[in-house]
């Protein structure tokens, strides 16, 4: 698993450098990057649809053709519930971290403004920012619970 990340690091670095070069062109560079992003999004949606439609149904069909009907239905139902739990965990973690990021952005900016005017409010301001960050922790806990159910 880590080998894939290490192999992907030059690709990520290259894409960042390419994006910096393209955005120096002004608006046309931004339009180019937006077009590339749209193409990648369409490709990701196509891959998602292909993965969802070829999941347990294809595995059950090939196993039933081999004569292992009972094992195929058990494997298909297990795979379906596992993938649903993992997808739910991913959605819980992603949604909570995005929400926490937005909350920390607004609460942090307001906290810095309040502390710059009245430094004695530092403790209260950090509690509010910490509560906003707690949203991400709640999502992570829900994700861990869902993975435990898988």
Read off the pLDDT of residues 69-85 as tens digits, 9 standing for 90 and up: 444 444 455 566 688 88
Residue 148 belongs to domain spanning: 79-150
Whether residue 104 is contained in a domain is answered as yes
Q: What total number of domains does the chain contain?
A: 1
| Angle in degrees, 0-180, between the axes of helices 69-117 and 122-149, rounded to the nearest 10 | 180
- Comparison of pLDDT for 73 and 88, the residue scoring more: 88
Q: How confident is the model at residue 66 (pLDDT cuts 50, 70, 90)?
A: very low
- pLDDT above 80: residue 63: no
Burial 42-81 (b: 16+ CB within 10 A, else e): eeeeeeeeeeeeeebeeebeebeeeeeeeebeeebeeeee
Whether residue 55 is contained in a domain is answered as no
Residue-level pLDDT at 37: 79
d(CA 12, CA 6): 10
- pLDDT above 80: residue 102: yes
Interval 27-33 mean pLDDT: 79
Rg (CA), the chain: 23
Q: How confident is the model at residue 50 (pLDDT cuts 50, 70, 90)?
A: confident
Interval 2-29 mean pLDDT: 74
Whether residue 18 is contained in a domain is answered as no
What CATH number corresponds to the domain at position 96? 1.20.20.10
Write out the two tokens for 61. 């069909």
Whether residue 47 is contained in a domain is answered as no
Q: pTM of the entire structure?
A: 0.48
């Amino acid at each position: 698993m880590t080998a894939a990340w290490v192999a992907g690091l030059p690709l990520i670095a290259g894409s960042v450098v390419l994006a910096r070069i393209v955005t120096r062109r002004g608006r046309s560079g931004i339009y180019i990057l937006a077009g590339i992003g749209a193409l990648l999004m369409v490709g990701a949606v196509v891959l998602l649809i292909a993965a969802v439609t070829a999941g347990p149904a294809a595995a059950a069909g090939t196993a039933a053709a081999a004569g292992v009907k009972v094992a195929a239905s058990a494997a298909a139902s297990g795979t379906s519930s596992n993938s649903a739990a993992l997808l739910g965990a991913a959605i819980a973690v992603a949604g909570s971290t995005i929400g926490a990021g937005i909350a920390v952005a607004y609460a942090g900016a307001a906290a810095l403004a309040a502390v710059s005017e009245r430094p004695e409010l530092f403790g209260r301001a950090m509690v509010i920012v910490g509560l906003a960050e707690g949203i991400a922790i709640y999502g992570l806990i829900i994700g861990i619970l869902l993975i435990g159910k898988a």
